[in-house]
């Protein structure tokens, strides 16, 4: 953009009220500012991949493009904040964000842990580095995630699993205790879960108010009544395809897809006021 005279400094100098969103790969400062980048590169470079995967396996890329999507969200949030400020000051600004900065934020928890003496992150599969038990357990009919995220929930879980004494066991009373003794506790929970159907165990956990969820496949979550109730799947204009809509509603109404993707030059007349859409 700078080579064409449309960089942020030149453009905002000509148009002081302009809000200019500048999204890059590695950021607007530093020795790598002009290097290109893509989702997997950023997950690797930022340390995210090193913390993802199973402890006995290789590191893994996060399945969703959280860096790409997150950077777009930060740009939109930044633009909205700049619009709000412009309403008071009358001045625009440059909103800078990048894939690398987004990836660094997502890796922030692991970085703080390391900088405060917690060491490099250990891969926990579906588990959590600090909360125990807070992961998937194999049942006789498939995996079920159990999230006993505090001491009160763990005491309830112990009751459901038929071992109320765990709730007062000095090894497991607090989450810190459980985290320190995860190698003892988790196999015991896993053994009980393995002998139970996930449907039966989930029903008991739900009744006790303990958060849990089966690991759905894509077809299962598409067919789930909760997905259907939200009405988030929307027919795409122009093609016979349903797409996932915006994950936000206004006064209970979700914004709908208004049109399909434009062809080259389709919106020129509307944007530039020209008669010939191809100009």
- Report the distance separating Cα 173 and Cα 148, nearest Å: 13
Residues 100 and 22 in one domain: yes
Residue 67 CA, distance from chain mean position: 9
Mean pLDDT, each 10-residue run in order, the chain (279 residues)? 92 96 95 94 96 94 96 97 97 97 96 93 93 97 96 98 97 96 97 97 97 96 95 89 92 89 89 63
Whether 268 maps to a domain, the answer reads no
- Report the distance separating Cα 200 and Cα 141, nearest Å: 10
Helix axis angle for 99-106 and 66-89, nearest 10°, is 110
Residues 114 and 12 in one domain: yes
- Report the distance separating Cα 132 and Cα 151, nearest Å: 10
Tokens of 199: 């449907």
Whether 244 maps to a domain, the answer reads no
Which residue in the list 15, 54, 128, 224 is annotated as catalytic? 128
Residues 55 and 151 in one domain: no
Phi-psi map region of 184: left, alpha, beta (phi>0 left; psi -120 to 50 alpha):
alpha
Tokens of 182: 């995860």
Residues 27 and 113 in one domain: yes
Residues 93 and 160 in one domain: no
Residue 263 CB partners (closer than 8 Å, separation 6+):
none
Question: Which CATH number belongs to the domain containing residue 178 in this structure?
Answer: 3.30.1540.10
First-to-last C-alpha distance (Å) of the chain: 21
Whether 240 maps to a domain, the answer reads no
Domain limit, last residue, from 53, 85, 118:
118
- Report the distance separating Cα 57 and Cα 213, nearest Å: 24
28 catalytic residue (yes or no): no
Whether 264 maps to a domain, the answer reads no
Residues 19 and 87 in one domain: yes
Domain limit, last residue, from 94, 118, 142:
118
Whether 202 maps to a domain, the answer reads yes
One DSSP character per residue, 5-69 reads: T-SHHHHHHH-TT-EEEEEESS-SSSTTTT----HHHHHHHTTTGGG-S-TTS-----SS-HHHH
Residue 275, pLDDT score: 56
Residues 13 and 112 in one domain: yes
Residue 146 CB partners (closer than 8 Å, separation 6+):
133, 134, 135, 136, 137, 157, 189, 193, 205, 210, 211, 212
Question: Which CATH number belongs to the domain containing residue 42 in this structure?
Answer: 3.40.50.10540
Residues 161 and 189 in one domain: yes
Domain membership of residue 150 as a residue range: 134-215
Residues 114 and 138 in one domain: no
Domain count, the chain: 2
Residues 40 and 102 in one domain: yes
Residue 274, pLDDT score: 65
**DSSP 8-state secondary structure symbol assigned to residue 275:** S
pTM of the predicted model as reported, rounded to 2 decimal places: 0.84
Tokens of 268: 């020129």
């Amino acid at each position: 953009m700078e080579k064409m005279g449309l960089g942020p400094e030149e453009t905002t100098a000509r148009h002081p009220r302009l809000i200019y969103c500048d999204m890059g790969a590695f950021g607007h400062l530093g020795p790598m500012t002009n290097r290109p980048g893509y989702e997997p590169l950023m997950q690797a470079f930022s340390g995210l991949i090193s913390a993802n995967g199973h402890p006995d396996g290789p590191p893994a890329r996060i399945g969703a493009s959280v860096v790409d999507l997150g950077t777009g969200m930060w740009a939109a949030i930044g633009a909205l904040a700049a619009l709000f400020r412009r309403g008071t000051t009358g001045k625009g600004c440059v909103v800078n964000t990048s894939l690398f900065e987004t990836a660094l934020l997502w890796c922030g928890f692991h970085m703080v842990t390391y900088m405060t003496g917690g060491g490099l992150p250990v891969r926990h599969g579906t588990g959590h580095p600090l909360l125990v038990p807070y992961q998937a357990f194999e049942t006789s009919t498939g995996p079920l995630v159990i999230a006993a995220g505090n001491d009160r929930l763990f005491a309830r879980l112990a009751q459901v699993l038929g071992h109320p004494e765990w709730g007062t066991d000095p090894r497991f009373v607090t989450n810190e205790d459980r985290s320190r003794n995860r190698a003892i506790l988790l196999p015991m929970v896993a053994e009980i879960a393995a002998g139970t159907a996930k449907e039966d165990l989930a029903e008991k956990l739900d009744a006790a108010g303990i958060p849990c969820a089966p690991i759905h496949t894509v077809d299962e979550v598409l067919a789930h009544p909760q997905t259907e109730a939200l009405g988030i799947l929307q027919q795409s204009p122009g093609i016979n395809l349903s797409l996932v809509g915006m994950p936000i509603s206004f006064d209970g109404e979700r914004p709908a897809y208004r049109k399909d993707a434009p062809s080259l030059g389709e919106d020129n007349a509307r944007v530039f006021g020209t008669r010939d859409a191809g100009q």
